[in-house]
Amino acid sequence: MDIFKESLVSFIKTAIKEKKNIDIANEESEKLIKNPPDVSFGDYSLAAYYMARYGFKGKPEEIAEEIFNIFMPNSARIEDLFDKIEIKGAYVNFFVNKERFASGIIQDVAGSNGNYGRGAPEKPLRVIIDFSSPNIAKPFGVGHLRSTVIGMSLSNIYEFCGHDVIKINYLGDFGTQFGKLITAFCRYDDIDFDKFEVNPVKSLYDLYVRIHKEAEENPSIDDVARNNFKELEEGLVRGNAGGLEDRLGSIDGGQTESVIGTALNKGVMDNKGRQLRITKESKSRFCDSGPDGKITLWKIFRNLSKKEFEGIYEKIDIKFDYYEGEAESAVFSNDIKEILLKSGIAEESEGAVIIPLKNIKTPALIAKSDGTSLYLSRDIVTAIFRMAKYNFDKMIYVVGSEQSLHFNQLCGIFDIIKENLNEISEKDNTRFKRYASLISGRLVHVKFGRIIGMSTRKGNLVFLEDYIKEASIKAEEKLKERLKILDDSMNEAITDLGKKLAEDWDGAKGAETLINPAGDRVDLQPEKELTERKKEQISYTSLKVGIGAVIFNDLKTRRTTDVNFKWDNVLSFEGQTGPYLQYTVSRINSLVSKLGGLNYNADFSFLKSDADFNDIFLITKQISGFRDALDSAMDQNEPSVLSSYALELASLFNRYYQNYRLIGSGLDYKPRLLMLSAVRTVLTRILNLLCVPVLERM
């Protein structure tokens, strides 16, 4: 909060105390102060309607008058900060001292060492953010991109606001479908093993599609698959005897290493420590040797897939603190089932195990009739493990809104466990009870809308990498076009120059360079000058612009609205787009360096009489709202709040840029340079928070 608002907050608080003898908190006082919809109404306002609850009586206009009269005799207390206080209808409007405001904000940003807006809560929260979470046998598509960038961006936001964030990628590595995959893998003889290692996810997906098709005609395949899954799960459970309570005990003791081996992180080794590979020759060894071989096979699948995903994450600069998998929790699903059955929280129904929930008609299904685990039961175990490991205050699941029911059930289950804690026997369940009871109320499902109508021109699913490629190609076209225009204007300049050298022009055309009257060398053949370095620069820039366009496209609207996908929208880099923001930053970079760099010892003051003062004031006003935008983005788990905010700031800056020249004009550019830098600081910060690459130049 700036000093202007701060002083209003304390003034209003005191006034209410003095006049009506009511104590209110600073936060409440702050809530009374609104930002008027238009600058002509001032910078802050107090609506009479809100004051009625503190005992102010009469028509709104009369109340406004009364409040105004409180301010007037005391105006000395605030006159330094405000130019004008006026009544307008039911509102008392405050006009800040613009010169003080503008220079104050610029000074704040300059003094923040690039950390303007960073939060430092008294009690930082420990927040787990579970996002991206692709299925290892399904290609990484645009749906996962949404979860990935929303999750990453929320992680960045919480962290920047001073909280302790743990980013987890919870791989979809388990479930009935893996029985299907194993079945398919062992069934078909024509698998291309080289392709399998290079592109495992696609290969697994193809297998899945193939067996699914075959199962439609031959339902017995489904039975084989279910059996294979059962074998897989039971095999894992057998290998990890001990049960949930023991496991929680070892987590308490600091042993957080995965129970199903370190496969997820280190690769799958044979007993001599060599990396295990599947080949045409070794395949039968995995397929025909009972559960152990199949478990190994499955471990290799998930390991290869994980590696492939990591390549994608690296490309778009996404990082996780931990990778987890569902399988880990599947091992203990049975223990959960037993506890909940014994305590009466869960009950049997048609051979399966369900938990009836309040307010939700569909009962939660936590075990299938063949005893194997389900998505929901694994999520219960996972949440308990995470509470034991990380003691989180809040856990956010960034998952599509189509899974609302699932997460409502998950939350409902922990509520019921907490309510019925006494029904669960203390014996052998102490740790379970401790951790499970803490979870209620701490889970948040951050849902997002679907992406509708996205397909290639042939109507197929779009893979993320192709999506980015498409955007990058478009960016490259645009970039080359711009360079060409630059060249053309350069040639025009040369033509002007050429008037002087008209006689020599033909000859000059063949020359590589020309010396202009100022003594600069002018390249005549920019095409030829497209050196390797330049080409590299172009493809680098294009890639980052493409990525920026794609990511920003996912973060610019509120998460819950479905995205109506249109190629034209993503491939346009004008207006409310990522490239527009990137462009704005690189424009500032260029300007700052042309003005000779920053000097923080410069004078921060602006004069009301300056031609550009009003626009500078508007820019600083926008900058001052950064903290609010951050808070609001965090409270609502909504990155788009920052997107809108950044677009507004960029737009204000670009207008300024267009209207006033800094080079060669009479304006004192030193304080303005700091203003530029402040805009850049905030925009760069937001781009970082939103996972949009920042470009030095474009």
Partner RNA sequence: GCGUUCAUAGCUCAGUUGGAUAGAGCAACAGCCUUCUAAGCUGUGGGUCGCAGGUUCGAAUCCUGCUGGACGCACCA
CB atoms near residue 424 (< 10 Å):
20
Binding to RNA (CB under 7 A): which residues in 586-625? 586-587, 589-591, 594
If the CB atoms of residues 223 and 466 are measured against RNA, the closer one turns out to be 223
If the CB atoms of residues 433 and 621 are measured against RNA, the closer one turns out to be 621
> Of 596, 530, 575, 548, nearest to 692 (Cα)?
548
If the CB atoms of residues 320 and 438 are measured against RNA, the closer one turns out to be 320
Instruction: Tell me the closest approach of the beta carbon of residue 111 to RNA, in angstroms.
Output: 25
Over the window 481 to 520, marking each residue x when it contacts RNA by CB under 7 A and - when it does not, the resulting string is -x--x---x---x---------------------------
Over the window 566 to 585, marking each residue x when it contacts RNA by CB under 7 A and - when it does not, the resulting string is x-xx--xxxxxx-xx--x--
Chain centroid to CA 202: how far?
26
If the CB atoms of residues 22 and 493 are measured against RNA, the closer one turns out to be 493
Let me know: does 444 contact 394? Beta carbons within 8 Å: yes
Binding to RNA (CB under 7 A): which residues in 439-458? 450
Binding segment toward RNA, per CB under 7 A, in 35-43, 144-152, 185-193, 282-290 = 35-43
Strands 91-96 and 82-88: antiparallel
Strands 352-355 and 347-349: antiparallel
What CA–CA distance (Å, rounded) separates 67 from 56? 9
What CA–CA distance (Å, rounded) separates 650 from 579? 11
| Residue 40 in contact with RNA, rule: CB under 7 A | yes
Instruction: Tell me the closest approach of the beta carbon of residue 283 to RNA, in angstroms.
Output: 25
Binding segment toward RNA, per CB under 7 A, in 255-263, 424-432, 598-606, 650-658 = 650-658
Binding to RNA (CB under 7 A): which residues in 131-190? 135, 172, 174-177
| Residue 49 in contact with RNA, rule: CB under 7 A | yes
Let me know: does 179 contact 225? Beta carbons within 8 Å: yes
| Residue 19 in contact with RNA, rule: CB under 7 A | no
Cα torsion 539, 540, 543, 548 to 10°: value is -140
165, 248, 374, 550: which one binds RNA (CB under 7 A): 374
If the CB atoms of residues 293 and 546 are measured against RNA, the closer one turns out to be 546
Binding to RNA (CB under 7 A): which residues in 658-677? 658-664
Place of tokens 């920053």: 598
If the CB atoms of residues 350 and 503 are measured against RNA, the closer one turns out to be 350
If the CB atoms of residues 296 and 333 are measured against RNA, the closer one turns out to be 333
- Residue 322 is inside which H or E element, if any? strand 322-325
Instruction: Tell me the closest approach of the beta carbon of residue 602 to RNA, in angstroms.
Output: 17
Binding segment toward RNA, per CB under 7 A, in 183-191, 213-221, 369-377, 412-420 = 369-377
Cα atoms in the 13 Å half-sphere on the side-chain side of 118:
13
If the CB atoms of residues 54 and 429 are measured against RNA, the closer one turns out to be 54
Over the window 57 to 96, marking each residue x when it contacts RNA by CB under 7 A and - when it does not, the resulting string is ---x---------------------------xxxx-x---
Its sign, for the CA torsion 251, 253, 254, 258, is negative
If the CB atoms of residues 275 and 369 are measured against RNA, the closer one turns out to be 369
Instruction: Tell me the closest approach of the beta carbon of residue 310 to RNA, in angstroms.
Output: 20
What CA–CA distance (Å, rounded) separates 91 from 14? 19
How many helices (H) and strands (E) the chain has is answered by 28, 16
Q: How big is the site for RNA, counted in residues (CB under 7 A)?
A: 104
If the CB atoms of residues 284 and 495 are measured against RNA, the closer one turns out to be 495
Binding segment toward RNA, per CB under 7 A, in 28-36, 101-109, 209-217, 242-250 = 28-36
Let me know: does 494 contact 524? Beta carbons within 8 Å: yes
Over the window 402 to 441, marking each residue x when it contacts RNA by CB under 7 A and - when it does not, the resulting string is xxxxx-----------------------------------
If the CB atoms of residues 242 and 453 are measured against RNA, the closer one turns out to be 453
User: What DSSP string runs through 500-545?
Assistant: HTGGGHHHHHHSSEEE-TTS-EEES-TTTT--HHHHHHHHHHHHHH
Let me know: does 494 contact 486? Beta carbons within 8 Å: no
What CA–CA distance (Å, rounded) separates 47 from 36? 10
> Of 687, 613, 691, nearest to 650 (Cα)?
687
